Structure 1
Amino acid sequence: MGVSVLLIDVDGTIVNSYPGIRASFIHALETIGYPIPSEERLRKVPGPQIYDTLIDLGLPPEDAKHGLQAFRKHYRRHGWHNAALFEGWPELLRTLREEGFTLCTATSKNQDLAAQTLEHLGVGDAFDFIGGADVDAGRQGKAAVIDHVLRTLNIDPTQQRALMIGDRSHDTEGAAEFDIPTILVQWGHGEEAEWNAAYDYAGDISTLEEKIHAFFK
């Protein structure tokens, strides 16, 4: 069956980027004159496309576009480095590489920003490929990013076993388009219904490692 492939989300899975995303999202709404939603709603911002989240909040498409531009500008200047690795990831990534896994990111975050963030946090070189979104290239949404990663690395999930690691339902749904199962981590931004809809879920990094090995056994 070939090598074992892990597709890993970034925000809410590997990286706690919420403080920077939250600040930039609030800045974007203030810039275009829209009210700030509740903290509970703000905690759901990481993961999906920012434009989609703005639309979901009821903004007209044109205002959502302006909001996205304001978010990008602020995040590139101030937000991206306001992030930290969740505990245990450097060790887990090192172990998985030593065991021969092909490690890739599949994130709705801009690909260049994802690479910049992971390199800044000292784990960029753990990945065979850092795959992410590129709105200018028309690559948006989890399924489009996964397709980009698979094509770039010439991975056929029908011939090489692959597993998605994420924290939200869009990770599960995007991977399902390629018949790739998903394990969701519970330290991100998901909820119980999302965890139950995934192939499996893990509440800590040790459990995640165990379930990865069990899947590929």
Structure 2
Amino acid sequence: MVKGIVFDFDGTLANSLIGGLDAFNYAFETMGLKVPQETEVKQHFGAGADRIFYRLLGNWEHALQAFDHYKVYQTKKLFRSNWHEGIETLLEKIAEHKVPTAIVTGRHSEDLAMVSQHLGLASRFISVVCDNHVSASKPSPEGIFLAAGTLNLKPSEIIYVGDSVGDVAAARSAGAISVAALWDPTAKKESFSEAPDHWAYHPSELWDIFMACSTNANPSPSCDRV
């Protein structure tokens, strides 16, 4: 029986992916490097920006320099994430029913703080697990294991919601119920090489999935990870 919900951040809770790509481009341009194609950067989403720069540059010294420029862009542009439409209503309902909830994000904690301070994550979520809190980025299940522990739940007792195939793979590896969030403009159903347990086209649908999976009478095998 499902008892908690864990969210990805970018593209799931927040409409933040486009601004993030601009910050990557700024870092490469500032260092006098060729700006990679959008697809080259996005294929690494799920990892923190510092790790993405390392994968693209192959050198930690250069990667950390690029990450510094990336953070400068975030500060200069005062780029802030905003909740996706329907998310605030969903979070209010989650709080009203005292459902334990957390975040597992591919963002570095410094990066997340810059774009989300105004959202009050600490008051809405029991824990926030960032990419620099784990030894391996998604699709590793490590972050979901950590989040489940902070909620005092088994991974099989949580739903993990994300907008990428890496999120689905991480949930599956952890033994959690996977929900693919398709409400972000960048999320495409055809991009999922592995089908999730559930699809959600609007945040309101997630609550229906949670209610169905949190009752003992639920008939759907996609809600059973025990």
User: 1:214 maps to which residue?
Assistant: 212
**Counterpart Cα distance in 1 of 2:49 and 2:124:** 27
Unaligned 5+ segments in structure 2 are 216-226
The two structures have a TM-score, normalised by structure 1, of 0.79
User: 1:175 maps to which residue?
Assistant: 171
Unaligned 5+ segments in structure 1 are none
Question: Residues 127 and 195 from structure 1, CA distance in 2 versus in 1: closer, same or farther, beyond 3 angstroms?
Answer: farther
> C-alpha displacement at 1:145, in angstroms?
2.3
Deviations 1:48-92 (A, max 9, x none): 3334544555x32344443334324433x2466432111011110
Asked if 1:145 is matched to 2:174, the reply is no
Question: Residues 187 and 120 from structure 1, CA distance in 2 versus in 1: closer, same or farther, beyond 3 angstroms?
Answer: same
> C-alpha displacement at 1:7, in angstroms?
0.8
User: 1:114 maps to which residue?
Assistant: 112
> C-alpha displacement at 1:141, in angstroms?
1.2
Is the 8 Å Cα contact of residues 18 and 43 (structure 1) preserved in structure 2?
no
> C-alpha displacement at 1:126, in angstroms?
1.9
Question: Residues 46 and 120 from structure 1, CA distance in 2 versus in 1: closer, same or farther, beyond 3 angstroms?
Answer: farther
Is the 8 Å Cα contact of residues 23 and 73 (structure 2) preserved in structure 1?
yes
Q: Secondary structure at the match of 1:163?
A: strand
**Two-structure CA RMSD over aligned residues (Å):** 2.9
Q: Secondary structure at the match of 1:21?
A: helix
The two structures have a TM-score, normalised by structure 2, of 0.76
Identity between Structure 1 and Structure 2 (%): 23
**Counterpart Cα distance in 1 of 2:193 and 2:84:** 19
Of 25-34 and 41-50, more deviation after overlay is shown by 41-50
Aligned length: 210
User: 2:86 maps to which residue?
Assistant: 88
User: 2:32 maps to which residue?
Assistant: 33
User: 2:70 maps to which residue?
Assistant: 71
